[in-house]
Amino acid sequence: MSSSNRALRARVREQLRHLNVQPPLQMDELCRRFGEQRGRPIDLQSLVLPARTTAVTFVTSEADIIVYQRETTRAHQHFACTHELGHLMLGHQPDTPDREAVLRFWQDLMPNLPSKHLQGALMRSCSDHANERAAETVARIVRAWTSVLDHLYPAGYDPDTPPWVRGGLSERQGWL
């Protein structure tokens, strides 16, 4: 692993630790906390998207809107959403210079898209490979965390368990 990749992973884990999300992972909760932390809300929506489109992020003057594919597995949805969240955590900018083309393409699918405020979109197919790899790294870190912790804390886990009871585990098993 290169030193820049290690630095990226360390930076992402630090950000995720600060968000203090608890297992099992709730994607809307992760987005809400991150939106609050940076003072700019993230709106999460599912939609039947064109085939092979996993998720897209619309950047508006008011908020970021992550739209993800409704017709796929929950694991795939989580991965796609955290990839998009990764772009936002790393401060990536929309890579669609032609705002009008974005609008023409998406307005039929998303009549509620706040077109007046739209600045651009981040898409998985975007051409900036370095940014794509970095966003993918964020998604992999979250997937590694959830695959361990969702197993340790199955459904029905009581998040109100006193911290000293689960402290030993969460110390070691926090963001990997």
- CB–CB of 74/19 below 8 Å? no
The SS3 assignment for 172 reads helix
Closest contact distance (angstroms) between CB of 136 and Zn ion is 8
Cβ-based nearer residue to Zn ion, 23 or 94: 94
Cβ-based nearer residue to Zn ion, 36 or 98: 98
Cβ-based nearer residue to Zn ion, 21 or 134: 134
Closest contact distance (angstroms) between CB of 17 and Zn ion is 23
- Residues 74-113, one symbol each (x = binds Zn ion by CB under 5 A, - = not), give ----------------------------------------
Q: What is the dihedral of CA 100, 90, 52, 81, to 10 degrees?
A: -110
Q: CA 102 to CA 96: how far, in whole Å?
A: 7
The SS3 assignment for 46 reads strand
> Is position 142 an interface residue for Zn ion (rule: CB under 5 A)?
no
> Is position 124 an interface residue for Zn ion (rule: CB under 5 A)?
yes
- CB–CB of 34/27 below 8 Å? no
Cα–chain center distance at 3:
24
Element (H, E) at 114: none
Number of residues that bind Zn ion (CB under 5 A): 3
> Is position 32 an interface residue for Zn ion (rule: CB under 5 A)?
no
> Is position 135 an interface residue for Zn ion (rule: CB under 5 A)?
yes
> Is position 140 an interface residue for Zn ion (rule: CB under 5 A)?
no
Which chain residues interact with Zn ion by CB under 5 A?
A: 124, 132, 135
